[in-house]
Amino acid sequence: MDTVQGADTPEADLARRITACPPGEAREAEAQLYRLLAPRVRRYGLRHLRDAHAAADLMQHVMTLTIEHLRSGRVREPERVLSFVLGTCRMTVMDQRRTEHRREDLLERCTVAPEDQLLVSRLAAPLAGVQRLDLAAEMSTAPGVQHRLEDIPFDPASGEVLYLARLSLVRQLPEHTTTLRLLAVEPDGTRELGRYAFHHAPWR
């Protein structure tokens, strides 16, 4: 991503216009800023995340956060909006990588014994600022069929969501993998916060 800054750059002018107006009344400037910077954020995501869907989620999250901060005056130097966008990209990618590493550690430790009744897992996720959280589940035995739990309870400060499954039901199923996705529900759509895989094999 190009990090050249300047008080007379197009993005700096648009950022100042958004900040100077009451929140939500600079729609045209917001749209122009989105069109100008969103492709750069997407390229950053493709380079560092190497996944088109993850890059699109990053683009949506970063640009939404940027415009919200400009509206509320929380970008102290609007002329440096490009630095704010780049810094947000870096922090978001770092959070996602930390979540992925914690998820991998969790999966390595996730085993149950024949006498266990519940599977209890802590799904690590960056929850700061999330207002509503949904959980989507898909089983490898029924690809493309998703079950969704809406508005699940969570504590944003904890950085994790508690997931419980009754093993008496799981044990009736053949060998399979269940994929869970935590989705932040936002005004412009949903944003994936984490993806978690649980593999079930009958106890031998």
**What per-residue string of b and e applies to 63-99 under the rule 16 or more CB within 10 Å gives b?**
bbbbbebbbeeebeebbbbbebbbebbeebbeebeeb
More confident residue, 165 or 81: 81
Sequence-separated (6 or more) residues with CB below 8 Å from residue 4: 82
Least confident span in 75-79, 112-116, 153-157:
112-116
Domain covering 112-200: architecture? Sandwich (2.60)
Cα of first residue to Cα of last residue in the chain, in angstroms, is: 52
Instruction: Quote the distance between the C-alpha of residue 79 and its chain's center.
Output: 27
Residue tagged 């780049």 (tokens): 86
pLDDT band at 196 (very low <50, low <70, confident <90, very high): confident
201 burial (CB, 10 Å; 0-12 / 13-18 / 19+) is exposed
Q: What is the pLDDT of residues 94-114, one digit of tens each?
A: 887 776 665 555 444 455 556
178 near 200, Cβ under 8 Å?
A: yes
Q: Do 11 and 55 touch, CB atoms closer than 8 A?
A: no
The pTM of this model reads 0.51
Q: Does residue 133 carry a pLDDT above 70? A: yes
What value does the mean pLDDT take over residues 131-151? 91
Instruction: Name the residue ranges covered by the structural domains of the chain.
Output: 10-96, 112-200
